[in-house]
């Protein structure tokens, strides 16, 4: 991960790969939320928790490093969760169909 040029921000990624970091991390969280339980209510709760984690991380960065709230990152996190959840749902649907 590339480090920021800002002297007070240590692990804030920048550049071309920044969006991909967010998509990959939150995509994995979405995938895990689907594979973690068979119960729909648990899956939804975990997906909401993953989304709140994304919002919380961005909000903490705003408070800690005095930077603007990165709404684009929050949207990217949500897209990653949705992509991961969709992939997890398709994979779990496929495995059930084969049984």
Say if CB 25 and CB 84 are below 8 A apart. no
**pLDDT 10s per residue in the chain (99 long)?**
444 555 555 556 678 888 999 999 999 999 999 999 999 999 999 999 999 999 999 999 899 988 899 999 999 999 999 999 999 999 988 777 776
Task: Give ∠ CA 61-53-77 in degrees, rounded to 5.
Answer: 85
Q: What is the pTM of this model?
A: 0.83
Task: Report residue 49 CA to chain centroid gap.
Answer: 10
Write out the two tokens for 45. 């709760």
**52: closest CA among 20, 35, 29?**
29
- How do the domains of the chain map onto residue ranges? 18-98
């Amino acid at each position: 991960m590339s480090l920021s040029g800002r002297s007070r921000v240590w692990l804030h990624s920048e550049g071309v790969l920044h969006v991909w970091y967010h998509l990959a991390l939150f995509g994995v969280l979405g995938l895990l939320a689907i594979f973690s339980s068979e119960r729909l209510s648990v899956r939804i709760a975990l997906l909401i928790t993953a989304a709140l984690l994304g919002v919380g991380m961005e909000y903490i960065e705003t408070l800690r490093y005095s930077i603007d709230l990165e709404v684009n990152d929050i949207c990217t996190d949500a897209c990653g969760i949705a992509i991961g959840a969709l992939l997890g749902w398709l994979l779990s649907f496929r495995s059930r169909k084969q049984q």
